[in-house]
Homo-oligomer: A and B are copies of this chain.
Amino acid sequence: MRYSTGRTNCGTLVPANPRERAMTRQMKVAAAQLGPVARTESREQVVKRLLELMREAKGWGVDVVVYPELALTTFFPRWLIDVEEELDEWFEADMPNAATQPLFEEARNLGIGFHLGYAEIAYEGNIKRRFNTAIIVDKKGDIVGRFRKVHIPGHHEVLERPGQHLEKRYFDVGDMGFPVYRAFGAICGMAICNDRRWPETWRVMGLQGVEMVFCGYNTPVGLGDSFDLDALSPFHNLLCFQAGCYQNATWAVGVAKAGCEEGFNMIGQSCIVAPSGEVVAMCSTVEDELIVHGCNMELSRDYKRDIFNFAYHRRPEHYGLIVERTGAEPPPA
């Protein structure tokens, strides 16, 4: 704990009574990293792996176990799939469904929440829409939060290179913004993969008082990027989590699907990051692996009251371009 509990130079802001600190809200979280999922692996097989990690998390007394983005299948956007029925096979029309029902039941049985990413088909009237989606499920097995990925990365068109990243082709842009939900005694938000690179993602949740962000990702390397982004990919992963947490005074749980999947490597580094920006837990493999941390939610409150007291310090009158402009417009030469 980073707090002085005795008398300090500052006086007013620090509780002098250690018992006040003892009443700290704690959220015990687990990041449940997945190793590769083969193209031929069924939902049922993957759910078995998820259940094993859930039980391991329960053994730690965890409140919520956080699974990756698109956790139920291999990362299919690396391939061109141009037959609609084939594409549909990678998506879930219902949640829960037959394959994922055991997860919801086990959550209820064990009294543990979870966060899960999956490919969602949703209908608006007759229009079929496809989202890269994540949900929060509470300890009763009920869905209490939903998010649809906003910053869809990759390309729409097929590029001449070893691996594709066709998320822009397969997914609609999320239509929910960045909602937050009260769950597990805290204010929880969600981001998915590429969303974490965009400070707007974090700030919009920060402006709703977010205290805990769940963020799954699949971050492939070796797809043939034009410059050496691959080597820096693990660094950028942590940088974005650390900056997002610090600048918004929130905890985050980042969870990878990792390892060599169908011939392409994906980074690991599933991590739990404090409102200080410090990485307090991190996976050491690129396989199925669980890490846990007891998150002191008061840390978030302290940063929000001080250096990131938005009401006291922010100056939205100077932020207009952030919403007025999409692309960069350099000044006249």
Contacts and interface: CB of A to CB of B under 8 A. Distances in A.
B226 A10 contact: yes
B226 A236 contact: no
A171 interface: no
Given A10-B224, A226-B302, A239-B243, A207 B322 contact: yes
Given A247-B198, A315-B150, A226 B306 contact: yes
Interface stretch (A11-19, A33-41, A254-262, A286-294): A11-19
Contacts of A325: 207, 316
B310 A327 contact: yes
Best-buried of A208, A277, A328 by chain B (most CB within 10 Å):
A328
Contact of A200 (B203, B226, B304): B203
Interface stretch (A48-56, A120-128, A157-165): A157-165
Interface in A234-275: 235-236, 239-240, 242-243, 246-247
Interface residues of A, number: 84
Given A10-B226, A160-B11, A199 B247 contact: yes
Nearest to A332: B182
Contacts of A207: 321-322, 325, 327-329
A224 B312 CA distance: 19
Interface of A is mostly: loop
A314 B153 CA distance: 10
Interface stretch (A86-94, A103-111, A130-138, A173-181): A173-181
Nearest to A156: B312
A59 interface: no
Nearest to A15: B226
B307 A197 contact: yes
Contacts of A178: 318
Given A198-B313, A199-B200, 18 more contacts: A3-B227, A4-B228, A8-B224, A10-B160, A10-B226, A13-B226, A14-B226, A150-B318, A151-B314, A177-B320, A182-B331, A207-B322, A207-B328, A208-B328, A311-B327, A316-B323, A316-B324, A320-B323
